[in-house]
């Protein structure tokens, strides 16, 4: 895990744009980083399934079916799908819960940092997989999560169940589709035999250019 | 013969995996395996038979995920029908196999996790979890299961709910296995030793480990479990570690290697063996071949006195431990006020403070005549265990409060207290038997406190023997030797010390003492307390109930441990005192550091310096004047900079924290002069039903409190009705609602609708990640707050208009 990138992303989540934190906040970040590293426990589970793209933006796999224009576009030219779930574990939530009651300033930093960490963890995994697949002449698309664009949030349920994510990595879902541990990611990644390097990933791929958190 | 009678006579074998075998027969990914009990009973029955013929003594019903959350009887079958069908399938297999082999197996009702996380982290209430498991257990027992196996639990709290559900609804033997990671931790962070403490406390018939790991990775954890447990141990590993091959899951060791490892488990002392994911009848057959002739190792009773939290266990042994006594209203004005005002923050801070000072267990006493103690106790325990990982000592004489706290406690608690009176023992021991715990037993009875150590030792013996009738062992009792103040009884200390010594030497028991009682009525109590504490430790005190803020007590404790050979190389002593220069407290800030004004300290978020500055000001100035001249302008300056984007959220909150610390000092001063600071208004804050992300609401609370608003914080996942009821009852002018998810905005809308109907005078401000000005308008809110400062502004405007 790249600490520098985690720190940069943490600051972005906290509303810093180009400014550097003062020494007091820099020290707080370090303190949080140390505590959080002890508390997190990253796990993931993944599964490769066959994929059919049907009419009207239909996406059909053995784990879920959905209609989504944005995901269909993302998956154009793909015939298989990697489905995965990853989590930083409940330790991060326990820390946040503790500091919410006794030191709010630390709670907000830890919550931003844990979010940055799980993203970084997923980026690392995705890079590894990309490399692995490339060797076999297959190409991975950027990851796409339920709730992005018009990919229905309801798919969360079937994804998590199909991956047995509860049993395997302790990822649970509330009735209102909130993931717990909260620092968790579920996503799908299209697999294609055609390279598609022109894809932009993450924040930059989003159409909303006036977002105050936008990375540039 | 019943399964309980058979335990220990020979090794008992469970079956192996089901999921992958059902998949081979056509179960689709994502399809619920339990439906096959009804759709394909013949396949499920055959699977059981294969295991029985391979040598399994116990087959697990195909009910891992069978609970009402997945089988609600509306969108799918009813859980009771699924369970009944599953037990019938297993029973049929047992009968058929018995005809074939002449050996009759047992049917274990299998209960896996609900797939939900319990509150406060998740949205499943503890009692709801108990009911969900209870329903399954009842259905299984009615259908004819011989025992219950609760398995693959990776959260001790959910495990506790399942055990209670099973035991409160059936008389069947209950076995419990948990899932650990390679580091030996549960997903929720608990370790194996704490899991054993919890499960033994709940009096399960056997306990152990399953799933998650292969037998090789499990070995170290099994060893720990065997060292801690005094009940039979179960080991049901996966067939090694999984990896993916062409989209299929395969495991890294074969049936022969598996059996070899399992033989080792039996030789180490496990009594029940089986398999989990990836294991097949072949794994079980080979395991039976290797292990059937092994005589189970006798179980030794572990004489360890152990309490646990959700994360770890604390042993009360020869090395004494500290129990922090500060969460107790007796003689504490501020604690009493906090309890009356329902101010959990104060209690939590006392808890965190004591943990930082080094106590091992926290005593929790919230008894005040004018409050509802059972409710308050339950709330305090819930909040404390949400924030702290220390074991708690539930300290109350109210039996309802004691039971409610023991029930929802996430671990094996310490309980304070029982005594030698029949009435007390009859009330407390059944609770300890049911929920587990280490109980403090006061050496007094119907005749009062014996004047002699002999009398106290006699009572201790009586308590031990009455406890034994409930199956509660001596190791789970701490005798409180009782010290009466030496100011009225010159032999008070001598008698207590003799009692400690004799309980240790003659009875082999563990002891406790509220140490500072010795000095009631004397001047400079700390002087005599610390001397007495050292003497008590030397005489065998095992758990000292003290104030860790009293430096003299901590000095006595660390010195004693170093001198008594309990602190190898004086490591703890040195790490505590090594950096201190000659005992003198750190003096005033070094010269050269510029002295900042209170306002500056607050604005910059310098908490300690703000406290120092306010102390100096309070010596000469009026508290209200300080608030007006220094505090409020500082908060305003920070607020303006935050809005301008030159000060960021963590800084704004550090400023708020510094202000809060300074306000505390000001409040103390005003309280001592009999004044109170007027609140500007009362505001309800709540995170709406269905939403469990609390952070936004909590930021707003911190800020509003600094602007002298009284915040009624209803927490998270709050039903609309609760918000409305509170608003009506308390005649609230302003309600702040938070929602983070698109899925929970509808319950925000519903809350607003109900408020408009029943409390039309209320103004509603809303905030949360998915909301916008426009969205807030559509759901009928009066104000959208994009951040915490916006809510302060809205409140300031609203309440000042009201004044005009």
* Mean pLDDT of the region A37-43: 95
Rounded distance between C-alpha atoms, residue A80 and residue A60, angstroms: 10
Q: Are residues B518 and B654 in the same domain?
A: no
Residue A162: Cβ within 10 Å count? 21
Report CB contact under 8 Å: B695, A107. Answer: yes
Residues in chain B, how many?
804
Pairing of strands A43-54, A78-87: antiparallel
End-to-end CA distance of chain B: 83
Strands (E), B585-718: 681-687, 709-713
Q: How far is A147 from chain B (nearest CA, A)?
A: 10
Q: How far is A198 from chain B (nearest CA, A)?
A: 28
Is A216 within the bounds of a domain? no
Closest by CA to B47, choosing from B72, B26, B65, B69, is B26
Residues 6+ apart with CB under 8 A from B296: B8, B9, B10, B11, B266, B269, B271
Pick the residue of A41, A152, A177, A178 with the most B CBs within 10 A to test the interface with B by mutation: A178
Are B222 and B265 a contacting pair, CB within 8 Å? yes
B203: left (phi over 0), alpha (psi -120 to 50) or beta: left
Rounded distance between C-alpha atoms, residue B110 and residue B665, angstroms: 57
Are B98 and B48 a contacting pair, CB within 8 Å? no
Peptide bond into A7 cis (omega under 30): no
Helix B373-387, helix B344-357: angle, nearest 10: 50
Q: Which of A46, A170, A182 sits opposite B187 (nearest CB)?
A: A170
Report CB contact under 8 Å: B651, A158. Answer: no
Residue A111 with chain B: CB contacts under 8 Å: 695
A18 CB near a chain B CB, below 8 Å?
Answer: no
Number of alpha carbons in the 13 Å side-chain half-sphere of residue B368: 22
Report CB contact under 8 Å: B121, A166. Answer: no
Report CB contact under 8 Å: A96, B695. Answer: yes
Residue of B nearest to A212 (CA): B645
Pairing of strands B242-245, B248-251: antiparallel
Q: Sign of the CA dihedral A67, A68, A71, A74?
A: positive
Is A204 within the bounds of a domain? no
Is A91 within the bounds of a domain? yes
Range of the domain at A30: 3-197
Residue A161 with chain B: CB contacts under 8 Å: 30
Q: Are residues B626 and B690 in the same domain?
A: no
Report CB contact under 8 Å: B656, A91. Answer: no
Residue of B nearest to A170 (CA): B187
Rounded distance between C-alpha atoms, residue B341 and residue A157, angstroms: 41
Residue of A nearest to B699 (CA): A104
Residue B76: Cβ within 10 Å count? 14
Residue of B nearest to A22 (CA): B651
Q: How far is A105 from chain B (nearest CA, A)?
A: 5
Residue B302: Cβ within 10 Å count? 16
Q: Are residues B138 and B160 in the same domain?
A: yes
Pairing of strands B306-308, B313-315: antiparallel
Helix (H) or strand (E) holding B689: none
End-to-end CA distance of chain A: 22
Is B616 within the bounds of a domain? yes
Q: What are the structure tokens assigned to B786, written together? A: 């994009």
Residue B742 with chain A: CB contacts under 8 Å: 153
Burial of B295 (C-beta count, 10 Å sphere; 0-12/13-18/19+): exposed
Residue B348 with chain A: CB contacts under 8 Å: 101-102
Is B368 within the bounds of a domain? yes
Q: How far is A55 from chain B (nearest CA, A)?
A: 24
Report CB contact under 8 Å: B743, A89. Answer: no
The total of structural domains in chain B comes to 4
Report CB contact under 8 Å: A49, B654. Answer: no
pLDDT of residue B675: 79
- Provide the CATH number for the domain around residue B77: 3.20.20.330
Q: Are residues B140 and B266 in the same domain?
A: yes
Pairing of strands A139-140, A184-192: antiparallel
Is B286 within the bounds of a domain? yes
Report the DSSP beta bridge partners of residue A50: A80
Per the listing, tokens 């107790």 go with B328
Residue of B nearest to A83 (CA): B247
Q: Sign of the CA dihedral B210, B211, B217, B221?
A: negative
The total of structural domains in chain A comes to 1
Residue B236 phi/psi, 5° resolution? -125, 80
Rounded distance between C-alpha atoms, residue B18 and residue B774, angstroms: 52
Are B90 and B14 a contacting pair, CB within 8 Å? no
Residue A149 phi/psi, 5° resolution? 50, -130
Q: How far is A64 from chain B (nearest CA, A)?
A: 9
Q: Are residues B412 and B495 in the same domain?
A: yes
| Alpha-carbon distance values, B220 to A162, B183, B192, B217, B397 (Å) | 31, 9, 10, 7, 42
How many beta-carbon contacts under 8 Å exist across A and B? 143
Q: Which of A47, A108, A174 sits opposite B122 (nearest CB)?
A: A174
A24 CB near a chain B CB, below 8 Å?
Answer: yes
Residues 6+ apart with CB under 8 A from A133: A139, A140, A191
Residues of chain B with confidence (pLDDT) below 70:
1, 247, 581-594
Report CB contact under 8 Å: A101, B694. Answer: no
- Provide the CATH number for the domain around residue A46: 3.40.109.40
A47 CB near a chain B CB, below 8 Å?
Answer: yes
Are B105 and B59 a contacting pair, CB within 8 Å? yes
Q: Are residues B666 and B685 in the same domain?
A: no
Is A210 within the bounds of a domain? no
Q: What are the structure tokens assigned to B64, written together? A: 């891992």
Is B790 within the bounds of a domain? yes
Residue A169 with chain B: CB contacts under 8 Å: 187
* Mean pLDDT of the region A186-190: 96
∠ Cα A43 A45 A49 (to 5°): 165
- Provide the CATH number for the domain around residue B470: 3.20.20.20
Q: What are the structure tokens assigned to B231, written together? A: 């009940």
Residues 6+ apart with CB under 8 A from A200: A142
B184: left (phi over 0), alpha (psi -120 to 50) or beta: left
Residue of A nearest to B703 (CA): A104
Residue A96 with chain B: CB contacts under 8 Å: 695
Residue B317: Cβ within 10 Å count? 15
Q: How far is A179 from chain B (nearest CA, A)?
A: 9
Q: What are the structure tokens assigned to B195, written together? A: 């899991």
Helix B649-672, helix A23-39: angle, nearest 10: 100
pLDDT of residue A168: 87
pLDDT of residue B585: 47
A174 CB near a chain B CB, below 8 Å?
Answer: yes
Residue B383 with chain A: CB contacts under 8 Å: 101
Range of the domain at B648: 598-672
ipTM of the complex: 0.90
Pick the residue of A7, A100, A153 with the most B CBs within 10 A to test the interface with B by mutation: A100
pLDDT of residue B589: 47
Report CB contact under 8 Å: A97, B120. Answer: yes
Pairing of strands B58-60, B12-13: unpaired
Report CB contact under 8 Å: A101, B702. Answer: no
Rounded distance between C-alpha atoms, residue B354 and residue B724, angstroms: 37
Q: Are residues B431 and B491 in the same domain?
A: yes
Q: Are residues B9 and B145 in the same domain?
A: yes
Q: Which of B115, B185, B744 sits opposite A176 (nearest CB)?
A: B744
Pairing of strands B233-236, B272-273: parallel
Is B591 within the bounds of a domain? no
Rounded distance between C-alpha atoms, residue A165 and residue B115, angstroms: 9
Q: How far is A109 from chain B (nearest CA, A)?
A: 7
Rounded distance between C-alpha atoms, residue B681 and residue B708, angstroms: 8
pLDDT of residue B770: 87
Report the DSSP beta bridge partners of residue B210: B236
A170 CB near a chain B CB, below 8 Å?
Answer: yes
Report CB contact under 8 Å: A166, B115. Answer: yes
Q: Are residues B143 and B182 in the same domain?
A: yes
Q: Are residues B539 and B612 in the same domain?
A: no
* Mean pLDDT of the region A160-188: 92
Three-state SS letters, B17-43: CCHHHHHHCCCCCCCCHHHHHHHCHHH
Q: Sign of the CA dihedral A121, A127, A132, A136?
A: positive
Are B329 and B367 a contacting pair, CB within 8 Å? yes
Report CB contact under 8 Å: B657, A21. Answer: no
Residue A49 with chain B: CB contacts under 8 Å: 29, 247
Report the DSSP beta bridge partners of residue B10: B7
Fill in the DSSP letter of residue B239: S
A15 CB near a chain B CB, below 8 Å?
Answer: yes
Q: Are residues B544 and B606 in the same domain?
A: no
Q: Which of A96, A109, A181 sits opposite B650 (nearest CB)?
A: A109
A62 CB near a chain B CB, below 8 Å?
Answer: yes
* Mean pLDDT of the region A53-78: 90
Q: What are the structure tokens assigned to A119, written together? A: 């993203």
Number of alpha carbons in the 13 Å side-chain half-sphere of residue B226: 20
Report CB contact under 8 Å: B650, A28. Answer: yes
Strands (E), B45-192: 58-60, 106-111, 147-153, 174-178
Report CB contact under 8 Å: B181, A41. Answer: yes
A189 CB near a chain B CB, below 8 Å?
Answer: no
Rounded distance between C-alpha atoms, residue B407 and residue B130, angstroms: 11
Report CB contact under 8 Å: A62, B122. Answer: no
- Provide the CATH number for the domain around residue B734: 3.40.50.280
Is B404 within the bounds of a domain? yes
Q: Which of B116, B605, B702 sits opposite A172 (nearest CB)?
A: B116
Residue A93 with chain B: CB contacts under 8 Å: 121
Three-state SS letters, A92-134: HHHHHHHHHHHCHHHHHHHHHHHHHHHHHHHHHHHHHHHHHHH
Burial of B2 (C-beta count, 10 Å sphere; 0-12/13-18/19+): exposed
Are B641 and B647 a contacting pair, CB within 8 Å? yes
Is B581 within the bounds of a domain? no
Q: What are the structure tokens assigned to B669, written together? A: 């001063």
């Amino acid at each position: 895990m790249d600490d520098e990138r985690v720190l940069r992303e943490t600051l972005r989540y906290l509303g810093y744009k180009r400014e550097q934190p003062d020494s007091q906040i820099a020290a707080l970040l370090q303190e949080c980083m140390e505590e959080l590293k002890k508390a997190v426990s990253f796990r993931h589970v993944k599964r490769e399934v066959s994929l059919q793209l049907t009419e009207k933006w239909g996406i059909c796999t053995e784990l879920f079916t959905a209609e989504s224009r944005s995901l269909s576009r993302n998956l154009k030219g793909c015939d298989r799908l990697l489905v995965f779930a990853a989590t930083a574990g409940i330790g991060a939530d326990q820390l946040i819960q503790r500091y919410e009651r006794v030191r709010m300033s630390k709670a907000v930093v830890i919550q931003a940092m844990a979010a940055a960490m799980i993203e970084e963890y997923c980026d690392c995994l995705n890079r590894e997989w990309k490399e692995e697949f490339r060797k076999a002449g297959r190409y991975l698309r950027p990851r796409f999560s339920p709730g992005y664009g018009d990919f229905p949030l309801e798919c969360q349920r079937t994804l998590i169940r199909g991956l047995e994510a509860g049993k395997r990595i302790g990822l649970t879902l509330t009735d209102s589709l909130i993931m717990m541990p909260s620092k968790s990611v579920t996503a799908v990644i299209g697999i294609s035999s055609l390279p598609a390097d022109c894809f932009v990933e993450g924040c930059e791929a989003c159409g909303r250019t006036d977002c105050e958190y936008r990375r540039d | 013969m019943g399964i309980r009678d058979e335990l220990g006579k020979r090794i008992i074998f469970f079956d192996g995996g089901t999921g992958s075998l059902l998949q081979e027969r056509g179960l689709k990914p994502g399809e619920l395996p339990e439906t096959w009990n009804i759709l394909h009973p013949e396949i499920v029955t055959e699977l059981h038979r294969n295991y029985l013929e391979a040598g399994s003594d116990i087959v697990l019903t195909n009910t891992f995920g069978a609970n009402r959350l997945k089988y609600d009887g509306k969108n799918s079958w009813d859980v009771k029908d699924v369970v009944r069908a599953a037990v019938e399938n297993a029973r049929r297999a047992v009968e058929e196999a018995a005809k074939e082999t002449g050996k009759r197996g047992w049917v274990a009702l299998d209960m896996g996790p609900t797939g939900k996380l319990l509150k406060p982290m998740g949205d499943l209430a503890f009692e709801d979890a108990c009911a969900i498991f209870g329903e399954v257990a009842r259905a299984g027992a009615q259908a004819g299961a011989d025992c219950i196996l609760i398995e693959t639990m990776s959260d001790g709290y959910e495990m506790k709910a399942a055990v209670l559900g099973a035991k409160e609804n059936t008389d069947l033997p209950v076995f419990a296995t948990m899932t650990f990671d390679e580091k030996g931790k549960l997903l929720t962070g608990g370790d194996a030793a704490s899991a054993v403490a919890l499960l033994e406390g709940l009096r399960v018939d056997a306990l152990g480990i399953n799933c998650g790991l292969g037998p090789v990775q499990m070995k170290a954890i099994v060893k720990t479990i065997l060292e801690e447990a005094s009940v039979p141990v179960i080991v049901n590993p996966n067939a090694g570690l999984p990896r993916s091959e062409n989209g299929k899951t395969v495991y890294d060791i074969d049936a022969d290697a598996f059996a070899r490892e399992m033989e080792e488990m039996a030789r180490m002392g496990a009594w029940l063996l089986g398999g989990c994911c990836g294991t097949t009848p072949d794994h079980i057959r080979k395991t039976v071949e290797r292990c059937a002739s092994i005589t189970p190792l006798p179980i030794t009773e572990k004489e360890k006195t152990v309490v646990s939290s959700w994360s770890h266990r604390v042993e009360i042994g020869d090395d004494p431990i500290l129990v922090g006594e500060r969460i107790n209203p007796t003689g504490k004005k501020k604690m009493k006020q906090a309890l009356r005002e329902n101010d959990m923050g104060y209690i939590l801070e006392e808890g965190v403070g004591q943990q930082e000072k080094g106590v091992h267990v926290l005593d929790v006493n919230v008894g005040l005549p004018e409050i509802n103690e059972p409710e308050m106790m339950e709330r305090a325990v819930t909040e404390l265990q949400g924030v702290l990982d220390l074991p708690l000592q539930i300290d109350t004489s109210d039996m309802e409060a004691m039971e409610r706290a023991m029930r929802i406690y996430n671990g094996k608690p310490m309980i304070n207290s029982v005594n030698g009176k029949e009435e007390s023992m009859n009330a407390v021991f059944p609770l300890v038997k049911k929920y587990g715990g280490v109980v403090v037993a006061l050496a007094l009875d119907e005749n009062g406190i014996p004047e002699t150590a002999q009398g106290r030792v006699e009572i201790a013996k009586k308590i031990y023997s009455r406890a034994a009738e409930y199956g509660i062992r001596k190791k789970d009792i701490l005798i409180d030797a009782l010290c009466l103040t030496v100011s009225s009884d010159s032999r008070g200390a001598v008698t207590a010390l003799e009692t400690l010594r004799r309980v240790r030497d003659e009875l082999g028991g563990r002891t406790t003492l509220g140490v500072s009682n010795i000095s009631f009525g004397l001047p400079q109590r700390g002087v005599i307390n610390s001397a007495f504490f050292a003497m008590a430790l030397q005489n065998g005190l095992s758990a000292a109930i003290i104030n860790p803020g009293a430096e003299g007590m901590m000095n006595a404790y660390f010195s004693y441990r170093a001198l008594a050979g309990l602190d190898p190389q004086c490591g703890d002593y040195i790490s505590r005192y090594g950096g201190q220069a000659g005992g003198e407290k750190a003096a005033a800030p070094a010269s050269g550091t510029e002295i900042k004004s209170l306002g500056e300290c607050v604005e910059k978020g310098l908490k300690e310096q703000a406290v120092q500055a306010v102390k100096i000001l309070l010596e000469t100035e009026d508290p209200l004047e300080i608030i007006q001249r220094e505090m409020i302008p500082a908060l305003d300056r920070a607020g303006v900079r935050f809005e301008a984007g030159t000060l960021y959220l963590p800084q704004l909150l550090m400023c708020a924290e510094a202000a809060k610390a300074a306000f505390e000092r000001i409040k103390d001063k005003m309280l001592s002069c009999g004044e109170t600071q007027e609140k500007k208004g009362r505001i309800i804050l709540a995170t709406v039903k269905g939403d469990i992300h609390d952070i936004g609401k909590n930021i707003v609370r911190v800020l509003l409190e600094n602007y002298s608003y009284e915040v009624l914080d209803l927490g998270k996942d709050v039903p609309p009705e609760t918000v409305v009821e509170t608003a009506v009852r308390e005649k609230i002018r302003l309600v702040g609602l938070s929602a983070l998810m698109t899925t929970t905005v509808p319950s925000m809308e519903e809350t607003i609708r109900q408020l408009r109907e029943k409390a039309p005078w209320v103004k509603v401000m809303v905030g949360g990640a998915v909301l916008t000005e426009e969205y807030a308008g559509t759901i009928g809110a009066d104000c959208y707050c994009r951040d915490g400062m916006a809510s302060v502004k809205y409140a300031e405007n609203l309440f000042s208009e009201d004044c005009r």
